[in-house]
Amino acid sequence: MVKSANTRKPATGAARNPRALAAKLLAKLAGGSSLTVLFQEELGQVTPADRALIKAICFGVARYWPRLNALTEGFLNKPMKAKDRDIHCLLLVGFYQLLYMRTADHAAVAETVEAARRLKKPWAAGLINGVLRRLQREQALHLARLKDDPALLHACPDWLLKRLQGAWPEQWQQIAEAYNRKPPMSLRVNLAKVSRQDYIRELTAGSQLSRPIPDVPSGLVLDGTPDVVDLPGFAEGWVSVQDGGAQLAGCLLDPRPGQRVLDACAAPGGKTGHLLELECSIELTAIDVDRDRLQRVTENLQRLQLSDSVRVCQGDAAKPDGAWAEKLYDRILLDVPCSATGVIRRHPDIKVLRRDADIAQLVQKQQEILVAVWPLLKPGGRLLYATCSVLPEENQQQVERFLAQYPDAREQIIEASWGHSCSVGRQTLPGEATMDGFYYACLEKLN
């Protein structure tokens, strides 16, 4: 018999137990790998149902990592050895199920114990069984002791909570609480192909409820999280998944017919596509330093049927070189690498991956990129500096320093009802008006 090319390999070991595989992925997360990458690399042979469960567990554990880690350590006489990080993470999986999932307690305990055997560490089965059953008995006592530590109470890394308290003294609790809520599914309607109202009618005809995002002409937020391939016209480029706050970038850059536009840190291409949807006649160049992530830009543009309207090339915005750097641009979108502290709702693994020391390094990189790209802007042109951070060091303080050093740069004040006005630019905060946390500052080059 000829075997089909699409035949799945039989699942073995940890792959047969979603909790075991979740623990393995979380152990790799603790070692510095992002969940986005891990899901792409590790879940190809997993059934859809198990994949959904694994993602739910991994995202949930990451979201509550500071709290779950502290609870787990409180039940252990000594820390796990490095080679048993997967067992430590399996305990986190068990704790998350008992505290936050609707899984029946007996099933959560039994399946998590079995997962230890699937990880080929049967010695840990008794330990996990005892710890989880003890949590069942003593849950209220152990949760009560967390209330004395704000970082554990809010399940937020201590360094980040302190930065939030300093930057947003009136909103820090709101931000920390938003981090722990699952975000809604937001869409960007391609207004070049269909009006938002007509697309709402398409969704309603399929029994999918939606509502417009205030101040975002193309934005919709859905009730529920349907599979994207089931959305009307998704394959034809009618709509893309994109947070409402991210959609503000295209409107602020405001590309005009025939202008030369540079998307200087383009991957994964959401904002790139939006620029072309707003004005298809622009001469758009999209660059990114990461070749693998740049492939996603191309894929997104192909689905939107816009790949022939843009030049996509690998390039380092901090070190302009090549043909793309020999031109001057009317508009530049500079969505710089940042701490991503504004999008933790969607990427809770940031709580695990990011460190306080990273901020100074990111600020330096942002400054290098801004200084390097500024000469590519035409006199009278507009540069939009953007981050998905809520930290002022990466945002208004960064732009203030640049304006003080470059007399040919002037802020174009953003007059808007969304977000919060900063000393320079404007900031959205996680959870407000359905949006994630984004910062924007418009800069004009003087003649």
Q: Does 388 participate in catalysis according to the annotation?
A: yes
Is pLDDT above 70 for 386? yes
| Amino acid of residue 308 | D
Please spell the DSSP secondary structure of 58-108, one letter per residue: HHHHHHTHHHHHHHHHHH-SSPPPGGGHHHHHHHHHHHHHHHHS-S-HHHH
* Contact of 60 with 35, CB cutoff 8 Å: no
* Domain range list for the chain: 13-155, 185-241, 250-445
The rounded Cα 287 to chain-centroid distance in angstroms is 20
Closest CA to 444 of 379, 372, 363, 382: 382
Region 111-130 average pLDDT: 96
* Whether the domain at 185-241 and the domain at 250-445 fall into the same CATH topology: no
Alpha helices for 147-212 (secondary structure H): 150-153, 158-167, 172-179, 196-205
Is pLDDT above 60 for 46? yes
The structural architecture, per CATH, of the domain 13-155 is Orthogonal Bundle (1.10)
What three-state secondary structure class fits 45? coil
Region 294-299 average pLDDT: 93
Is pLDDT above 50 for 18? yes
Which one is catalytic: 89, 388, 422, 442? 388
Q: Which range (5-9, 221-225, 385-389) has the least confidence?
A: 5-9
Region 24-45 average pLDDT: 95
Predicted pLDDT of residue 3: 33
* Contact of 66 with 351, CB cutoff 8 Å: yes
Q: Is 233 left (phi over 0), alpha (psi -120 to 50) or beta?
A: left
* Contact of 89 with 123, CB cutoff 8 Å: no
- Write the pLDDT tens digit of every residue in 328-381: 999 999 999 999 999 999 999 999 999 999 999 999 999 999 999 999 999 999
Closest CA to 337 of 304, 386, 408: 386
Is pLDDT above 50 for 68? yes
Handedness of CA 316, 400, 423, 445 (dihedral sign): negative
CA 336, 339, 342 angle in degrees (round to 5)?
A: 95
Query: What element of type H or E holds 444?
Result: strand 439-445
Can you identify the CATH homologous superfamily of domain 250-445? Vaccinia Virus protein VP39 (3.40.50.150)
Is 3.30.70.1170 the CATH classification of the domain at 185-241?
yes
Confidence of residue 248 (pLDDT cuts 50, 70, 90): very high
Strand 420-421 relative to strand 377-387, pairing: unpaired
Predicted pLDDT of residue 15: 58
